[in-house]
Amino acid sequence: MPIDQPKHQTVKTNMIEWMLLFGAGACAIGLAGCAALSSSAGKMDKDAFGVTPDGQSVDLYTLRNAKGAEATIMTYGGTVTSLKVPDRNGTIGDVVLGYDHLGGYITNSPFFGCLVGRYGNRIAKGRFTLDGTTYTLATNNPPNNLHGGPVGFDKRVWKVVKADVGPHGPRLELAYLSKDGEEGFPGNLEVTAAYTLTDDNALRVDYTARTDKATVCNLTQHSYFNLAGKGDILGHIVWIDADTFTPVDSTLIPTGELRPVDGTPFDFRKPTPVGLRINNDDEQLKFGTGYDHNWVINKPMGKLGLMARVMEPTSGRVMEVWSTEPGVQFYTGNSLDGSITGKDGRVYQRRNGLCFEPQHYPDSPNHPQFPSAELDPGQTYKNTIIYKFSTQ
């Protein structure tokens, strides 16, 4: 079923703007040379977190708002290593999976909390054609390319451009230059990722990117959430504002169809426990070994809107997912298998976390009927993702 939607939101920019944003004058400011910053809107701390095998120092920045919520961001992979928000009794708890140490993220991480790119999700057989040229990528999720390749944005050390506490709360801005040909993708891609912890307990992530050559770009955030802080996520109650989803083949590549959710286990238009239908005798669930699919969100592309809501009954925590993207990948941690010991010695078992990854649809470069993920010189890619927390 073809759909008529534009490319991702783009704006023209002139050379002066380009130089101001990405030129030699750009430098780390704010916390880069300080131990901490604070104001009535919150505060921010910086701590060393280790060194990568190739000798790059990695730091943690902890953003705290005036209400006591905390978000800790690592410069390795732009990773959210901790996100602490209150339950209905006011008790602060960490709601994301991860490690207490850098080594785990480097050697054995299923994309815990990271910034995913250059292309989030899968590209079929690691190939796509753009302007008549075919590009070949690594097939790190055989037979497909996954999340930008074996050394994607999640495995790069990002530069701190700015760290400060503004009127909307503490804000950390990271930047990375993905060079032409990196992981097989064309074009020098200048990327920024700004993290803000707002006073209404929302973690906002603003992505921007620019290129000097036609390329594809699809950035997203890959935190594994557990609003109870422990156990599985089968009792989490999920609502997704989507009438259709993109069914996949046995390798999790979209078939090109937009299939109605009506009458299927993929209908979350009414709040539904994750575990209610996850083990149904359904081909799509078997392909994903649970939910690992893209939902087509009912809103205009490029407009910031509410995509999904999750409520965990025992803690009373509620998470809303907002974005400007056309789709969201809902993944239920099906590949967690007890082999990872994470924070506080917790062993992560199957379905101990769920992900909501706002994005373009998987394999969009090979499906011209999908919203285009192409980014051309003179355009700016923009994607805003907000995870907003409350209680009931």
Predicted local confidence at residue 40, as pLDDT: 66
- As a whole number, mean pLDDT of residues 366-383 equals 97
Sort strands 202-211 and 381-391 into parallel, antiparallel or unpaired.
antiparallel
Q: Which of 222, 236, 360, 367 is catalytic?
A: 222
Provide the token pair at 305.
Answer: 């809107």
- As a whole number, mean pLDDT of residues 132-149 equals 97
Minimum mean pLDDT range among 5-9, 118-122, 149-153, 388-392: 5-9
Contact 17, 380 (CB under 8 A): no
Q: Model pTM?
A: 0.90
Q: Is the pLDDT of residue 14 over 60?
A: no
Query: Is 357 tagged catalytic?
Result: yes
Distances in whole angstroms, Cα of residue 313 to Cα of each of 100, 245, 387, 388: 27, 27, 18, 17
Q: Is the pLDDT of residue 75 over 70?
A: yes
Contact 131, 143 (CB under 8 A): no
Provide the token pair at 341.
Answer: 């010991």
Q: Which residues contact 95 (CB under 8 A, 6 or more apart)?
A: 83, 84, 85, 225, 226, 227, 229, 317, 319, 389
Q: What is the rounded CA–CA span in Å between residue 8 and residue 303?
A: 10
Q: What is the rounded CA–CA span in Å between residue 58 and residue 53?
A: 11
What stretch of H or E contains 103?
Answer: helix 102-107
Q: Is the pLDDT of residue 293 over 80?
A: yes
Predicted local confidence at residue 136, as pLDDT: 98
The string of pLDDT tens digits covering residues 161-194 is: 999 998 889 999 999 999 999 999 999 999 999 9
Number of H helices, E strands in the chain: 3, 31
Contact 96, 83 (CB under 8 A): yes
The string of pLDDT tens digits covering residues 141-163 is: 999 999 999 999 999 999 999 99
With bands split at pLDDT 50, 70 and 90, how would you rate the model's confidence at 301? Answer: confident
The string of pLDDT tens digits covering residues 29-44 is: 444 444 567 666 789 9
The string of pLDDT tens digits covering residues 238-261 is: 999 999 999 999 999 999 999 999
Mean pLDDT (the chain, rounded): 91
Predicted local confidence at residue 23, as pLDDT: 37
The amino acid at 40:
S
The string of pLDDT tens digits covering residues 333-350 is: 999 999 999 999 999 999
Predicted local confidence at residue 18, as pLDDT: 31
Predicted local confidence at residue 38, as pLDDT: 62
CB atoms closer than 10 angstroms to residue 151: 12
What stretch of H or E contains 22?
Answer: helix 15-22
Share of the chain above pLDDT 70, in %: 90
Q: Is the pLDDT of residue 324 over 80?
A: yes
Predicted local confidence at residue 166, as pLDDT: 87
CB atoms closer than 10 angstroms to residue 386: 20
Predicted local confidence at residue 24, as pLDDT: 32
Q: Which of 320, 325, 357, 374 is catalytic?
A: 357
Minimum mean pLDDT range among 25-39, 44-58, 328-342: 25-39
- As a whole number, mean pLDDT of residues 304-311 equals 98
Q: Look up residue 288 and give its DSSP letter.
A: H
Domains and CATH numbers, the chain: 15-391 (2.70.98.10)
